[in-house]
């Protein structure tokens, strides 16, 4: 057995010396509970931490703002809809979100490709070519959203509030895929979460663009959504196959 095969076997879901549950040390359980009760003051109902969180929420500044258009032409484009009762900054914010998410999608697939090649794991009809194709489509979607922002007179290099949020969200998924200890199946679960969120994000973005009369934008985004649907269905199938192979 090669070193790669040995490591792949070790990463499979199996029984081992997991000592995280209380059943591993039942004699210490009662002592732990008694100690908690002896040193706990007040009601253990979460009211204390809820009060602290409430104070932060009520006092905190907004996460950020949508930047002003960087040109007179851009300001005029944004102003037309603004005076019509619509708020183009909402569309710009969600475009910024998709831009950040698609960039993150490229990095996720890059990391998954590396893990698959290093581990040698085989999952159904998943291949490096297929993953590379999805990775390139994510990159194309990134460029598509960037052009859409420029068409509105917005700056695609600026980070909007929703872009900030989605960047933080994606950090956890990236940590899972990049962790050298995780298996391909575990990495696919992280990719599946990303694709589920991505699909919902494109649906909302298309609805916003349609409501603001951005017909050309809607048409190009619907093509991207169809490609994302293929990503989602494929990753969902591969994840199920990876788990099923381990279950026997």
| Confidence grade of residue 132 (pLDDT, cut at 50, 70, 90) | very high
* Residue 1 in this model has a pLDDT that exceeds 90: no
Sign of the C-alpha dihedral, residues 135, 140, 143, 149? negative
| Confidence grade of residue 80 (pLDDT, cut at 50, 70, 90) | very low
Q: Which one is predicted more confidently, 222 or 68?
A: 222
- pTM for the model stands at 0.81
DSSP tag of 23: G
* Residue 72 in this model has a pLDDT that exceeds 80: no
Q: What is the pLDDT of residue 44?
A: 61
8 A C-beta contact, residue 133 and residue 247: no
When mean pLDDT is compared across 86-95, 180-189, 230-239, the lowest value belongs to: 86-95
* Residue 83 in this model has a pLDDT that exceeds 50: no
Q: What is the pLDDT of residue 139?
A: 98
When mean pLDDT is compared across 38-52, 106-120, 132-146, the lowest value belongs to: 38-52
Backbone angles phi, psi at 123, to 5 degrees: -130, 105
Q: In the chain, which residue ranges form alpha helices assigned H by DSSP?
A: 3-10, 26-39, 47-59, 72-83, 88-119, 128-151, 161-178, 184-211, 215-247
Give the domains, in start order, of the chain with CATH numbers.
66-247 (1.20.1260.10)
Q: What is the pLDDT of residue 131?
A: 97
8 A C-beta contact, residue 11 and residue 119: yes
Please name which of 219, 227, 208 lies closest in space to residue 105, comparing C-alpha atoms: 227
Residues 6+ apart with CB under 8 A from 26: none
Tokens of 112: 């998954």
Task: Report the residue count for the chain.
Answer: 248
Radius of gyration of the chain (CA): 24
Q: How many CB atoms lie within 10 A of CB 121?
A: 20
Element (H, E) at 244: helix 215-247
| Mean pLDDT of the region 100-115 | 97
167: left (phi over 0), alpha (psi -120 to 50) or beta: alpha
| Mean pLDDT of the region 187-211 | 97
86: left (phi over 0), alpha (psi -120 to 50) or beta: beta
Q: How many CB atoms lie within 10 A of CB 210?
A: 14
8 A C-beta contact, residue 131 and residue 109: yes
When mean pLDDT is compared across 35-44, 46-55, 128-137, the lowest value belongs to: 35-44
């Amino acid at each position: 057995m090669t070193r790669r095969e040995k490591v792949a076997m070790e990463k499979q879901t199996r029984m081992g010396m997991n000592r995280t549950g209380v059943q591993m040390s039942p004699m210490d359980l009662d002592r732990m509970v008694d100690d908690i009760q002896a040193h706990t003051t007040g009601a253990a109902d979460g009211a204390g931490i809820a009060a602290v969180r409430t104070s932060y929420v009520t006092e905190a500044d907004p996460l950020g703002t949508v930047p002003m258009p960087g040109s007179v032409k851009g300001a005029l484009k944004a102003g037309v809809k603004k005076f019509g009762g619509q708020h183009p900054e909402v569309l710009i914010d969600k475009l910024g979100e998709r831009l950040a998410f698609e960039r993150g999608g490229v990095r996720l697939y890059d990391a998954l490709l590396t893990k698959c090649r290093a581990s040698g794991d085989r999952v159904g009809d998943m291949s490096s070519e297929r993953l590379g194709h999805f990775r390139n489509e994510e990159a194309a979607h990134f460029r598509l959203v960037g052009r859409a922002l420029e068409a509105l007179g917005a700056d695609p290099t600026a980070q909007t509030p929703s872009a900030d949020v989605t960047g933080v969200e994606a950090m956890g998924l990236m940590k899972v895929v990049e962790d050298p200890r995780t298996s391909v199946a575990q990495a696919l679960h992280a990719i599946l979460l990303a694709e589920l969120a991505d699909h919902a994000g494109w649906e909302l973005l298309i609805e916003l663009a349609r409501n603001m009369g951005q017909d050309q934008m809607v048409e190009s985004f619907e093509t991207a959504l169809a490609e994302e649907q293929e990503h989602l269905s494929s990753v969902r199938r591969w994840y199920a196959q990876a788990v099923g192979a381990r279950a026997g």
